[in-house]
A and B are shown apart, each in its own frame.
Chain A
Amino acid sequence: MHTHRLAPWAAYTVVGVGALIMLAPFWFMFVFATHSRTDIFSLPPPLVFGHDFAANLGILTSHLPFWRNLGISLYVALASTAFTLLFCSMGGYAFAMFEFRFKDALFALVMGTMLVPSFMNMIPTFMIMDALGWIDQPRALFIPGAANAFGIFLMRQFVGSSIPPELVEAARMDGCGELGIYWRIVLPLLRPALGTLGLITFIASWNNFIGPLIVMRSPEMYTLPLALRALQSPVDTEWGALMTGSAIATIPLLLLFLASSRQLISGLTTGAVK
Chain B
Amino acid sequence: MRLRSRFRLTPAWTPYVLILPFLLLFLVFNLFPLLFSLFLAFHSWEPTSGLTAMQFVGFDNFGFALGDEWFWKSLRNTLWMALASGVPQHLVAIPLACFVHSALRRGRDWVVGAFFLPYITSTVAIAILFSALFSTDYGLINLGLQGLRHLPLIGAAFPAEPVDWMGRPEYIKPAISLVVFWRYLGFNMVLYLAALQTIPGDLYEAARLDGAGPLRQFWFITLPSLKPMIFFAVTLSVIGGLQLFEEPFILTGGRGGSDQAGMSTAIYLYRMAFDFNDFGAASAMSWLLFFLVAALTALTNRAFRARGPAS
Q: Which residues of A contact B129 (CB under 8 A)?
A: 25, 28-29, 32, 243, 246
Q: Which residues of B contact A178 (CB under 8 A)?
A: 10-11, 14, 17
Known contacts A117-B239, A265-B112, A269-B191; A228 and B125 CB within 8 A of each other: yes
**CB-based nearest B residue for A119:** B266
How does the 8 Å CB contact mask read for A104-145 relative to B, with 1 for contact and 0 for none?
001001100101111111111111100100000000000110
B124→A119 contact, CB < 8 A: no
B253→A127 contact, CB < 8 A: no
B22 to chain A, nearest CB (A): 4
Interface size on A, residues (CB 8 A): 100
Cβ of A188 within 8 Å of any chain B Cβ, yes or no, is: no
Q: Which residues of B contact A247 (CB under 8 A)?
A: 125
A122→B273 contact, CB < 8 A: yes
Known contacts A23-B114, A124-B36, A232-B128; A113 and B30 CB within 8 A of each other: yes
Q: Which residues of B contact A273 (CB under 8 A)?
A: 191, 194-195
B250→A232 contact, CB < 8 A: yes
Complex Cα–Cα for A257 and B73 (A): 39
Q: Which residues of B contact A72 (CB under 8 A)?
A: none
Which of A15, A23, A94, A203 contacts B19, CB < 8 Å?
A94
Q: Which residues of B contact A243 (CB under 8 A)?
A: 128-129, 132
A143→B34 contact, CB < 8 A: no
- Residues of A contacting B: mostly: helix
Q: Residues of B at under 8 Å CB distance from A?
A: 1, 4, 9-11, 14-19, 21-23, 25-26, 28-34, 36-37, 40, 51, 96, 98-100, 102-105, 107, 109-126, 128-133, 135, 137-140, 143, 182, 185-187, 190-191, 194-195, 201, 204-205, 208, 214, 217-218, 222, 229, 232-233, 236, 239, 242-243, 245-246, 249-250, 253-254, 266, 269-270, 273-274, 279, 282-283, 286-287, 289-290, 293
Query: Could you list 18 examples of A-B contacts with CB < 8 Å?
Result: A12-B104, A15-B99, A19-B110, A19-B111, A86-B21, A87-B25, A95-B19, A98-B18, A119-B269, A120-B37, A147-B26, A214-B274, A229-B250, A257-B117, A262-B109, A265-B113, A268-B190, A272-B236
10 nearest A-B pairs in the assembled complex, by CB-CB distance = A147-B25, A124-B33, A144-B29, A98-B15, A19-B114, A91-B22, A246-B125, A11-B103, A94-B18, A225-B124
Q: Residues of A at under 8 Å CB distance from B?
A: 1-4, 6, 8, 11-12, 14-16, 18-20, 22-23, 25-26, 28-29, 32, 40-45, 86-88, 90-91, 93-95, 98-100, 103, 106, 109-110, 113, 115-128, 131, 143-144, 146-147, 149, 152, 169, 172-173, 178-179, 182, 203, 206-207, 209-210, 214, 224-225, 228-229, 232, 234, 239, 242-243, 246-247, 249-250, 253-254, 257, 261-262, 264-265, 268-269, 272-273
